[in-house]
Structure 1
Amino acid sequence: MERLLVIPLDFPPPLKVKLVCSSIDPLYQAVINVFYGFIVSRMKAEGILGRKEFANGSDEDIWLAALLTQVVETELAQCSLLMVVDAWYFQSTVIGLLNTWTHLRQVVVVREAEDLLTAVWEGSQCRGYVFLLHNPMPLLSFGNLDPKAWDYYGKHIVVGLSAAELETFTYTTKGRKTQHIVGLVKSEEEGEWRVYINQLYARQNVAFASKWRRSHFTRTPHLFPNKISNLQEAIVNVGTFEWPPVVLYKRSSDSSPYLYGRDVEVLRALAAAANFTVNFVEVPPGEVWGTRLPNGTWNGLVGMLGSGAADLGIANIYITSLSDRDDYQHFSAPFDHAVNCAFLRVSPPLPRWQALLWPFTQHTWLALVVGLLLSGPVLYCLVRHSAERSV
């Protein structure tokens, strides 16, 4: 497996340099150390390390490295890792203490949100992401950029955001639908970090999990639970429109319509199993599933899913990638199969007098006519020849 190191060498503009190493851990470690020293020397030449806030070495760095190492060893031991750091953390002793992780596959140094587009957000196995950000703005801005540039099923650990900033990120396009986000927030106490985890579709998007004090957790946290199996009565917005017989409306003058039908009943069974509350959101009239607009966005149900106005969608939906709509929506496993048929007009029955003619082809009728025409002369010749022989 290849390892990637992506580092902006110039400030500004960042120059992305990719270094591909073999899987030999000593070689990889040596290359990381060489590049780390080279980048630090470049930062000294630029005067960056002369700033007051860039102070190498502290007990806080050591305690943070111990916290991250324990989380990685206990929760992400089987995962390939990607680390995102900014300049402030890159020159600290934290990065030097963490670059011994043998399953670290990529390091990305960022100054702005667009730098995160260089990260590899896909993988066939377990993926872990560690963000060390003194400035939270690149990550907060990146949360609403290209929705395809993100791993929604990966395990994300974020350091450097406050609790309020962490919750803000969980409301972004990416953060809202990411299953696992763990925030490590520095408290005012020396050596203490507060640990938060995100909650999918909950009224409170971030929940306190535990505290880390210098070398241990005050209580053992469960950082990456299965949140899909139990959404804890969260409200899930479901976009739909009337489409008999799968979605039907029973309307009344004094209340919102009552929905029923095949897709609605499947959704209610899913809500009961996963413990969430359904809030139906009607698609604007006439837009139904949606069409792609000239500016590249979508209206209708696809547009609601892409914008976050709806979390799920039902309405006789077929699995298709037509017009790249799968950039905005994913599909569940199919629960029904359908076959489309076309009706064609059948010719009317023939009149009775033509019924005798149509079963035979033109060649058959030609043979019959020729046979009738020749049968008379042939019979005449046979009879005459027989009479002459008898005389």
Structure 2
Amino acid sequence: MEESGNILRVAVFERHPFVVKASSPIGNEWVGFCISLLEELSKIMNFNYELYETPDGISGNELPDGTWSGVIGELTSGKADLAVSALSITSLREKAVDFTKPFMEYGNVLVMRKPSEQDRDLLAFVHPFQWKVWLCIAVSMFTVGILLFLTSRLRLKMNAGDRHADNDRAFNLRNSLWFVYWSMMRKGELSFFVDSKFELLVLYRTLFFK
């Protein structure tokens, strides 16, 4: 965009900290992040500009008659060449005007009070699902573990004497159930050769540590 010698009319509306109207000895002037960005662009792309505030002081919404209010309306009506402020990019606005690439992204979140130690519930992990769902999960884990054990026994008999059958030999009933549990929880590295104390420790850390 080479606009040397031309003065671009730039529509703005106040939105801290992007565009702020500040008082000075010579009158009101515009400052803020977007104003500084516009100033740098004018130096790089060699153009002059003048700022003016939109009459309604808003970003812009589509009206029932198809026209727009705010800075979007200033652009669509031809009164402004550019608009600078905190403008959100929406599909409707993209149909009316051209946007530059966004220089800031943010997300809306909900905020809640931080729970105290007294509010902590050791069984909080079961609340998202009903007991029927947890029962189905438990039955499925035991069923898959038993099927895995039976499959390993069958493979071990079919491959008798095979030196590569160590994995099948390791899948006894306890290790088969442990493997299914590990696959569900994905806690740490898998090891078949663990004692019962270690298994209880991992179960405790999985269920109660937050």
TM-score (normalizing by structure 1): 0.29
1:336 match: secondary structure: coil
AA partner of residue 103 (structure 2): F
Residue 58 of structure 2 is matched in structure 1 by: 288
1:334 matches 2:102: yes
| Paired amino acid for 1:265 | S
Whether the 8 Å CA contact 1:248–1:260 is kept in 2: the answer is: yes
Which one has a bigger Cα radius of gyration?
A: 1
Q: Which has the higher contact order (CA 8 A, sep 6+)?
A: 2
Shift of 1:319: 2.6
Contact 1:281 1:310 (8 Å CA) reproduced: no
Determine if contact 1:305/1:311 at 8 Å carries over to the other structure: yes
Instruction: Indicate the residue corresponding to 1:316 in structure 2.
Output: 86
Residue pairs, 1:141-160, within 5 angstroms: none
The structure carrying a bigger strand percent of its residues is 1
How many angstroms apart in 1 are the aligned matches of 2:55 and 2:30? 16
- For residues 360 and 270 of structure 1, what CA distance do their matches in structure 2 show? 57
Q: Quick one: which of 275, 292, 304 aligns to 2:46?
A: 275
- Report the CA distance shift for 1:343/1:360 in structure 2 as closer, same or farther (over 3 A): closer
Give the residue type in structure 2 aligned to 1:240: V
**What is residue 237 of structure 1 aligned with on the other side?**
9
Deviations 1:334-365 (A, max 9, x none): 333334433123445528xxx8xx5469xxxx
SS at match of 2:75: helix
Q: Can you list the C-alpha shifts for 1:2-33, whole angstroms capped at 9, x where unaligned?
A: xxxxxxxxxxxxxxxxxxxxxxxxxxxxxxxx
RMSD: 2.5
Q: 2: CA distance between counterparts of 1:317 and 1:233? A: 28
- Report the Cα distance in structure 1 between the residues aligned to 2:72 and 2:20, rounded to whole angstroms: 20
**Of 304, 318, 325, the match for 2:93:** 325
Structure 2: how far apart are the matches of 1:308 and 1:232?
20
| Deviation per residue, 1:253-312 (Å, 9 max, x gap) | 862x21121111111111112221111110224x41112212111111111110011111
Please say if 1:297 is aligned against 2:67. Answer: yes
**359 and 335 in structure 1: CA distance in 2 versus 1, 3 angstrom threshold:** closer
Shift of 1:315: 1.0
Percent sequence identity is: 30
In structure 1, C-alpha distance between the alignment counterparts of 2:9 and 2:79, rounded to whole Å: 7
Residue 307 of structure 1 corresponds to 77
| Residues 1:246 and 2:14 aligned together | no
Identify the range of structure 1 (335-344 vs 287-296) with the bigger mean alpha-carbon deviation.
Answer: 335-344
Stretches of structure 1 lacking an aligned partner (at least 5 in a row): 1-227, 362-391
Q: Is the Cα–Cα contact under 8 Å of residues 290 and 298 in structure 1 kept in the other structure?
A: yes
